[in-house]
Amino acid sequence: MTQRYIVGDVGGTNDDLAVVERKENGFEIVFKQDKSTDNQQSFLQGLKKFLTDLEGELEDNEFREACFAVAGPVEDRNVEMPNADLTIDAEAIERETSLDTVLLINDFDALGYATELLEEEDYITVQQGEQSPENQPKAVIGAGTGLGKNLLIYDQGLERYVPHSSEGGHSDLPLKNRKELELAEFIQDLENISHQISYEHVLSGKGLENMYRFFNRNSFQKEGTQAEQISKTRETNPCSQKTFSKFIEFYARCCRNYALDTLPREGLYIAGGIAAQNPDSIDESFLEEFRNSSPQFRELLTKIPIRVITNYDISLKGAARAMELESNRST
């Protein structure tokens, strides 16, 4: 019998729901719906509509298992999303739908599982690195609506990699000169915060917009520009160019610090919508800042493979893999 799962990637901007089918060599998305998270008042009601829509789309539309990858920490089978006004409760879903088993995982756990499913067309290699000993750590980092991180450690008993999510995107942003201090103080005033700004305050869609406002603060045109527009005009608009260049510098610095923290000799995977939509921005300037360390550690950083994940749907397959592993564990 063909195994199919209901899966979702629920972020601060988009809510993607899908049916994923197990194939001999991986997973295939057989049906998918994309929605804006901003337009949803209730994840449960949106899911119920999705399940109803399936009745007219697929002949085999009876599903019992689902995994939702959510942008936020999972506690007691519940997620209150920090970047969206949504709460997702696994027990409520099981109680009010036909789904018997609902698994909630962090969205970067799903990306962690997905690193095992990547095919060549799903990513771009920006630093070849060096062949590492078997089963070394892997790391995933990604800027989108927020900034996520995940570390994958090989479990000898399970004979597979196990993802470990974190809220490392909220750790303090290191500043290296007075101009960056001015930027940090500008964002503190703009966001009305008294604590040190975090990586996510600059490495996110909103971070791009905040930096654009900073670099444009002396212009007569005071209104902000959306992150998507900044990305599109990064080669034609001087302010967008300056903003995106600084974004890439911060991104490389964050990746360098994360790589030194975790030593992901099996690979550092850059995920998230901003890199997926602008893969050419992870270029030589990014690599130069990434390797910007003492000679001893510059050599080490050069040995780490860096890959940009360009398949934005891969997290849905990662969620299916997580559900499969949970099902196998329960039987």
Total Cβ atoms within 10 A of residue 186: 17
Please list the residues that pair with 141 across neighbouring strands.
149, 270
Measured between alpha carbons, how far is 223 from 205 in angstroms, rounded to an integer? 16
What is the pLDDT, as a whole number, of residue 124? 97
CATH number of 4-112+313-330: 3.30.420.40
Asked if the domains 4-112+313-330 and 119-310 are classified in one and the same CATH topology, the answer is no
Confidence of residue 222 (pLDDT cuts 50, 70, 90): low
User: Which pLDDT tens digit goes with each residue over 69-126?
Assistant: 998 889 989 888 876 778 899 999 999 999 999 999 999 999 999 999 999 999 999 9
User: Which pLDDT tens digit goes with each residue over 267-307?
Assistant: 999 999 999 999 999 999 999 999 999 998 999 999 999 99
Q: Which amino acid is at 268?
A: L
Measured between alpha carbons, how far is 156 from 63 in angstroms, rounded to an integer? 33
- Find, among 303, 262, 268, 293, the residue nearest to 282 by Cα: 268
Is the predicted pLDDT of residue 129 greater than 60, yes or no? yes
CATH number of 119-310: 3.40.367.20
Domain boundaries, the chain: 4-112+313-330, 119-310
pTM higher than 0.75: yes
User: Which pLDDT tens digit goes with each residue over 14-24?
Assistant: 889 999 999 98
What is the pLDDT, as a whole number, of residue 55? 84
Measured between alpha carbons, how far is 313 from 308 in angstroms, rounded to an integer? 14
Is the predicted pLDDT of residue 246 greater than 70, yes or no? yes
Can you tell me the mean pLDDT for 29-47?
82
Confidence of residue 199 (pLDDT cuts 50, 70, 90): very high
Is the predicted pLDDT of residue 196 greater than 60, yes or no? yes
Can you tell me the mean pLDDT for 144-160?
95
> Residue 170, exposed/middle/buried by CB under 10 A (0-12, 13-18, 19+)?
middle
Is the predicted pLDDT of residue 180 greater than 60, yes or no? yes
What is the pLDDT, as a whole number, of residue 24? 87
Is the predicted pLDDT of residue 57 greater than 90, yes or no? no
- Find, among 16, 97, 17, the residue nearest to 63 by Cα: 97
